[in-house]
Structure 1
Amino acid sequence: MKLAFLSNSAPAAEEGLGELVARYGNVDPMEADVIVALGGDGFMLRTLHRTQELSAPVYGMNRGTVGFLMNEYSCDDLLDRLAAAEEEVVNPLEMRAMDQSGALHEALAINEVSLLRAGPQAAKLRITVDGRERLEELVCDGCLLATPAGSTAYNYSAHGPILPIGADVLALTPIAAFRPRRWRGALLPKTVTVRFEVREAAKRPVMADADAIQFNDIDWVEIRSVPTICHRILFDPGHGLEERVISEQFT
């Protein structure tokens, strides 16, 4: 089994990289059977984006903090663990965003696309789903659209629902909604296109974020799921995303 090891710059990750490469060797990711990512969840997301054109799945080993997308770090029995690993497949969201200068930006997000106020005043957002207006004006700190894989991240902190892995739905969740005050968001079919239009954009600036890829002074954003892009993630048996999502609801 040919392995490609990637790590972030944290000392613990670099130390693990040295140990694993010394024991198992290292190849270019384009030649690998499995790509092993050493770091935290942020680095795992960057690795998935970086390797999305490659056929090799990604196996994460936690050398960060939370490690929701990662497996426990150990230098021993790695080949046996990889042979027994269970695969999860997730589809990203595609974001298209136009800024106030007329520039069009595009990015992919595995966890969520979020719109966040970038000034002292609350944002005002108009929300349409498949071209139909669903909310004329949401006054808020922001709003996000999350995948099942990302539903336990920012979405959950914003009091959004946790979605089962494999569910064909997305979570639309407001962040500190002021008007309508009691609006808690919506569950939407995975096939929809969601559009946010920023009202009073010059007075109430808004930024858009797709897995930490940020664009400022946004005028509108469109988001849809991309079923043609499949991220393959490996987990130790009994510790896959489905089990982690269920466990998260009982902690």
Structure 2
Amino acid sequence: MKFKSIAFLASDSPEAREAALRLSAMHGNADPTVADCVVALGGDGLMLQALHRFVSTGIPIYGMNRGTVGFLMNDYAEEALKERLEAAELTTIHPLSMTAVDETGQTHRAIAFNEVSLLRQRHQAAKLKIAIDGRTRLDELICDGVLVATPAGSTAYNLSAHGPILPINSELLALTPISAFRPRGWRGAILPHQAKVGISILEGEKRPVAAVADHVEVRHVREVEIAQDQTRAARILFDPGHSLAERVLREQFRF
């Protein structure tokens, strides 16, 4: 694939903005609507913003780390950028769609490339009922929350909550409790990617719950449905030998 025109996208950090200025002077800075590629300069937060902004446009996104963790980013280097782009490996990921109904009956929709989380809003634990494809599987989960993670997001919040790491090309989702109090022994579930997860908030007035899809938060929700959105896709480029699949696999052998 040839990359004749590149659009540069930078986070607010001085390092990212300075890098964008230098690279733009070398390669130009095309309008993202007509560019062959977007180069995102920052950390994973910027990459998530880029994925949301360019989802389903077909334009590939190549991240270079000017942030902190940079799990979704390649190493930063200014030399031979176009050669790196042409040699990069392409990964296509699908987001989750979240449909949340709040206490007033209003419906909110958002997508998430990492996870959709339900979190207690106050000091009292949340009480949740969980259904898969319309069938109740857990009548009552008392917890700080629960999340549904994609394979790409399984190494993020999901891993911190002791959820499973999913291979990036697997057609699976992780359903993971956050600080479950009862049933204590429930560790979550691995679901097929086409599963529809329905979560009902019990005693919502007394135990309010917020739903968060990546960076979009809806408070005082009553019902939430989560499913993978196969109609949308984002394309990410990684340097050879450092693909997202390799990174996810490598995470399973860290201590």
Smaller-chain TM-score bracket: over 0.9
Task: State the shift of 1:55 in Å.
Answer: 2.0
| 1:133 matches 2:133 | no
CA distance in 2, matches of 1:226, 1:59: 22
Partner of 2:179: 176
Q: Whole-Å Cα distance in 2 between the matches of residues 246 and 230 of structure 1?
A: 22
Task: Show the counterpart of 2:206.
Answer: 203
1:248 alignment counterpart: 251
**Structure 1, unaligned runs of 5 or more:** none
Distance, in Å, in 2 between the alignment partners of 1:105 and 1:138 is 23
Give the distance between the partners of 2:192 and 2:241, measured in 1 at CA. Answer: 28
What is the TM-score when the length of structure 1 is the normalising length? 0.99
Q: In the alignment, which residue of structure 2 is the partner of 1:78? A: 81
2:37 and 2:166 mapped to 1: Cα distance?
28
Q: Distance in 2 between matches of 1:49 and 1:25?
A: 24
Partners of 2:119 and 2:46 lie apart in 1 by: 22
Cross-structure match for 1:237: 240
Work out the percentage of aligned pairs sharing the same amino acid.
57
**Residues 58 and 234, structure 2, Cα contact 8 Å, conserved in 1:** no
Compared CA separation, residues 53 and 91, structure 1 to 2 (3 A): closer
TM-score (norm 2): 0.97
Structure 2 counterpart of 1:107, from 103, 106, 110 = 110
Cα distance in structure 1, aligned partners of 2:163 and 2:6 = 37
Aligned residue for 2:33, secondary structure, equals: helix
1:89-147 per-position Cα deviation (integer Å, ceiling 9, x unaligned) = 10000000000011100000001000000000000000000000000000000000000
In the aligned structure 2, how far is the partner of 1:8 from the partner of 1:205?
A: 34
CA drift of 1:28 comes to 0.6
Q: Distance in 2 between matches of 1:125 and 1:3?
A: 46
Uncovered stretches (5+) of structure 2, i.e. residues with no partner: none
Amino acid at match of 2:71: F
Per-residue CA deviation, residues 168-200 of structure 1 (Å, 9 max, x unaligned), is 110000000000011000000101100110001
Aligned 8 A contact 2:172 2:193 in 1: yes
Structure 1 residue ranges (4+ consecutive) displaced by more than 3 angstroms after TM superposition: none
**Residue 57 of structure 1, aligned match among 48, 60, 63:** 60
How many Å separate the matches in 1 of 2:176 and 2:58? Answer: 33
Q: Secondary structure at the match of 1:29?
A: coil
**Root mean square deviation of aligned Cα:** 0.6
